[in-house]
Amino acid sequence: MTTLWLGHRVENGRAHISVGTNTYRPGGIELGEELAFGSLFTLSERMRPDRTAVELPEGFNKAQVDHVYESSQRWREWPTIPCEVDGREKVLSHRRYAWGWAGFICDVGVAGVKLVAVDVEPDTIALRTVRTPQTYGFDPSQRLSVSDLHEQADLAGDARLPLPWADTVHPDQQALIDHHGLG
């Protein structure tokens, strides 16, 4: 079981997971669709090969966003598994793309949770709420300034998931290129 603390990124060997809460809901969009779009968009962006190693064809960006949008509209069809959140069973919806998977849990608080993972299976995830955020260098009772955010960003390192395969196109990405006649 991989235990994650909400709002914290976990790295264990080659396994990488980003966890975040969703705080924005545009009017008229269901929470599930917003979470699905946000998590799958993040995954699709992070799974792109390094632009200095692979040149994706013109039109790929639009094809990728269209794919994410269409997939997020069908969020109810995503595979689901039980997931423990603070000791209670919840439902984790997930979708695989390229070398990882994107997932979300709607019924956590009022905002839901988005997950993006590589080399960790969805059925191994358990989430716990951070009770002492000071442990992670964050004091919620203090106001953050722009300089604080810059300092925290410098400490966190590169937020992108490392891609040892950054010099190749994944078959899922190639399928988008072929489907849209971009190659």
In this structure, what token pair is assigned to residue 15? 């396994």
3-state DSSP of 62-123: HHHHHHHHHHHHCHHHCCEEEEEECCEEEEEEEEEECCEEEEEECCCCCCCEEEEEECCCHH
Lowest pLDDT segment from 56-60, 87-91, 128-132, 158-162: 158-162
Q: pLDDT at position 18, please? A: 58
16-71 pLDDT, tens digit per residue, is 555 555 555 556 678 899 999 999 999 999 899 988 889 999 999 999 999 999 99
Across the range 140-150, mean pLDDT stands at: 69
Mean pLDDT in residue range 91-103: 95
- Residue 55's pLDDT is 93
What does pLDDT average to over the chain? 79
Beta carbons within 10 angstroms of residue 114's beta carbon: 24
Task: Return the pLDDT at 13.
Answer: 42
What confidence category does residue 5 fall into, taking pLDDT thresholds of 50, 70 and 90?
Answer: very low
- The percentage of residues in the chain with a pLDDT greater than 70, rounded to a whole number, is 70
Report pLDDT for 129.
77
Query: What pTM does this model have?
Result: 0.77
